[in-house]
Chains A and B, each alone.
Chain A
Amino acid sequence: MSRKRNNLLVAAVFIMIFIFIIVVGYADEFSKEDLERWQKEYMSVVETGRELWVSADLGTNGVSCAQCHPNAANTHPETYPKFQQQLGRVVALRDMINWCLQNPLEGEPLALDDPRLVAIEAYVTYERRGVPLEPGKH
């Protein structure tokens, strides 16, 4: 091999190692502070969900989710998506939340991208943490 080519090869290897260090060293590391902050952000939404859960204002008749589902019990979020008999088709958890808003709470459904719907889902799944997924289970 010519000397020039040899030098180029060595340079290329060094550059690659350099790039590798940069990428590995900076891209995939979360700091402890980041993780704690993100967890707080998440819990704030869970708490909003809890407030909505006990609120008498989601529907029009003053009934709250917590009246029938204390601590979001018996909502079994780990079984969604599943065939929901009341809707005649396979749906996700938020579709059932909207069904409850319209029926026992006699209110209006929330838009599927409404942050309140996310908050309610966050609360419901938080109270059910640790339970293995069983999608489709009736």
Chain B
Amino acid sequence: MKKFVFWLILIVCFFGLLGLMASDKPDKAAPLGLPSVSYPENNPQTPEKIALGDKLFNDKRFSDTGQVSCATCHDPAKAFTDSPLKVSEGIQGLTGTRNAPTVINSVYFESMFWDGRSPDLEDQALHPFVNPVEMGLKDHQPILDIVRSDPEYTEAFKTVFGKSGENITMTEVTQAIAAFERTKISGNSPFDRWYYGGETEALTPAQIRGFDLFINEGRCVSCHLIEQTQALFTDNRFHNVGVGINMIQNDIPELASEYIAAKLSAEEVDVKVLSDKRSSELGRFALTTGFDDLGSFKTPTLRNIAATAPYMHDGSVATLRDVVVHYNNGGVTNEGDPVNDFLSGGIRPLNLSDEQIDDLVAFMEALTSPEFADAVKTSEQK
């Protein structure tokens, strides 16, 4: 009898341990090369919430024409962008002015959108639904109608939030979407394995030369951060790097006074910048009207960058090589063009040779995580 009890206890413990290991621990260790994720206290991760967020993310019914979901512009098969589109296309193929940033590793951003007008993923999710050129809804009510009545949703919301009927609000909807987005983290690229993992063969000689340029002559590392124990490739700050703004140089005095006078809210900026190209080029200035922000945009991460062509806030730079050439020229597309008056103090001509430019491009191609290697092929420009 004693032997039987002993084995029974052992087997129970074993399966209990298995069960513990199997459950999705939300704060498991981050991939190689990334810092650990911190989740907001008011929106902890659970497997059910993540699954609900996934469903919402892909639901085309939350648009005026029933054709557009978050995944339309943030397609998982395309590294959560709509590469190779320059600017995104919403309902009825309406275009905006900005290139869709990736959702991958967006959990490490301190603000959302190219101009940082949204403080977190929950808030960000509210805007595209009601933007005329994205999902085109007049307000969020159609979404609420669906999630409050569709049986699959009502059951999920009950399980996840313990809420039903009128108590399901956009707060719950966006919390679920954000929880889903927070699972999209990727590191463990060839660069990570080489720099943090000690695998000396993980990078080619050209990529190693490119890394050296990245942190020295190329001056990239000051904004696209690589640090001692992890690399986010973004400083979460806003800089004018001379893309797009040159086209509106002469209009800046007029546009600037308009915006200083208008003092738009984040919601109003959201609509204006996606519909008016000239306003879009003002960057963060449209939101803050601070001179320091004229023409400035958030530093994107470079992780998986090879999969998300074309580049910059307006998708105007087609390839990675074009990007490096732009920086090499000191913040202009064609060498010798006049530089805009508000260019970030960190941008200046680099005097890199052709071979050095190629090496930098090779390095950036080493930043793709294994799970997105296929997306690189579909993103390559013909």
**Touch A–B, Cβ below 8 Å:** yes
Over the window 238-264 of chain B, the binary record of Cβ atoms lying under 8 Å from chain A Cβ atoms (1 yes, 0 no) is 000000000000000000000000000
Over the window 52-93 of chain A, the binary record of Cβ atoms lying under 8 Å from chain B Cβ atoms (1 yes, 0 no) is 000000000000000000000000000000010111111000
Q: Is the CB of B215 within 8 A of A88?
A: yes
Write the chain B residue with the least CB distance to A109: B216
Q: Which residues of A from 72 to 122 have beta carbons under 8 Å from B?
A: 83, 85-90, 102-103
Interface size class of B (residues with CB under 8 A): 10 to 19
Q: Is the CB of A103 within 8 A of B226?
A: no
Residues from chain B with Cβ under 8 Å of A83 in the complex: 227-228
Write the chain B residue with the least CB distance to A98: B216
Q: Is the CB of B228 within 8 A of A88?
A: yes
Bound CA–CA A102/B219 (angstroms): 10
Q: Which residues of B from 209 to 243 have beta carbons under 8 Å from A?
A: 215-217, 219, 221-222, 225-228, 231
Write the chain B residue with the least CB distance to A60: B351
Q: Which of A87, A90, A102, A103 contacts B221 (CB 8 A)?
A: A87
Bound CA–CA A96/B89 (angstroms): 46
**Total CB contacts across the A-B interface at under 8 A:** 22
- B28 to nearest A CB, angstroms? 26
Given A86-B221, A86-B222, A88-B221, A102–B216 Cβ distance below 8 Å? yes
Q: Is the CB of B228 within 8 A of A85?
A: no
Write the chain A residue with the least CB distance to B235: A85
Interface size class of A (residues with CB under 8 A): under 10
Residues from chain A with Cβ under 8 Å of B227 in the complex: 83, 88-89
Q: Is the CB of A103 within 8 A of B219?
A: yes
- A11 to nearest B CB, angstroms? 60
Residues from chain B with Cβ under 8 Å of A102 in the complex: 216-217
Write the chain A residue with the least CB distance to B221: A88
Q: Is the CB of A85 within 8 A of B217?
A: no
Specify the main secondary structure of chain B where it touches its partner: loop
- B192 to nearest A CB, angstroms? 14
Q: Is the CB of B226 within 8 A of A88?
A: yes
Q: Is the CB of A88 within 8 A of B225?
A: yes
Residues from chain A with Cβ under 8 Å of B228 in the complex: 83, 88-90
Q: Is the CB of B216 within 8 A of A85?
A: no
Residues from chain B with Cβ under 8 Å of A90 in the complex: 228
Over the window 31-46 of chain B, the binary record of Cβ atoms lying under 8 Å from chain A Cβ atoms (1 yes, 0 no) is 0000000000000000
Write the chain B residue with the least CB distance to A89: B228
Write the chain A residue with the least CB distance to B214: A88
- A18 to nearest B CB, angstroms? 56
Bound CA–CA A89/B228 (angstroms): 5
Write the chain A residue with the least CB distance to B219: A103
Q: Is the CB of A87 within 8 A of B215?
A: yes
Residues from chain B with Cβ under 8 Å of A86 in the complex: 221-222
Bound CA–CA A103/B217 (angstroms): 8
Bound CA–CA A133/B237 (angstroms): 32
Bound CA–CA A83/B219 (angstroms): 17
Residues from chain B with Cβ under 8 Å of A85 in the complex: 222
Bound CA–CA A89/B231 (angstroms): 11
- A92 to nearest B CB, angstroms? 14
Write the chain B residue with the least CB distance to A99: B216
- B225 to nearest A CB, angstroms? 6
Residues from chain A with Cβ under 8 Å of B222 in the complex: 85-86
Residues from chain A with Cβ under 8 Å of B231 in the complex: 88
Residues from chain A with Cβ under 8 Å of B217 in the complex: 102
Bound CA–CA A83/B216 (angstroms): 15
- B329 to nearest A CB, angstroms? 16
Bound CA–CA A117/B222 (angstroms): 24
- B362 to nearest A CB, angstroms? 19
Bound CA–CA A89/B196 (angstroms): 12
Bound CA–CA A86/B235 (angstroms): 11
Write the chain A residue with the least CB distance to B349: A106
Write the chain A residue with the least CB distance to B225: A88
- A89 to nearest B CB, angstroms? 5
Write the chain A residue with the least CB distance to B220: A88
Bound CA–CA A87/B215 (angstroms): 6
Residues from chain B with Cβ under 8 Å of A87 in the complex: 215, 221
Q: Which residues of B contact A (CB under 8 A)?
A: 215-217, 219, 221-222, 225-228, 231
22 A-B residue pairs with Cβ-Cβ distance under 8 Å, sorted by A, are: A83-B227, A83-B228, A85-B222, A86-B221, A86-B222, A87-B215, A87-B221, A88-B215, A88-B221, A88-B225, A88-B226, A88-B227, A88-B228, A88-B231, A89-B215, A89-B226, A89-B227, A89-B228, A90-B228, A102-B216, A102-B217, A103-B219
**Known contacts A89-B215, A90-B228; can you find 4 more A-B pairs with CB under 8 A?**
A88-B215, A88-B221, A88-B231, A102-B216
3 tightest Cβ-Cβ pairs between the two chains A and B: A88-B221, A88-B226, A89-B228
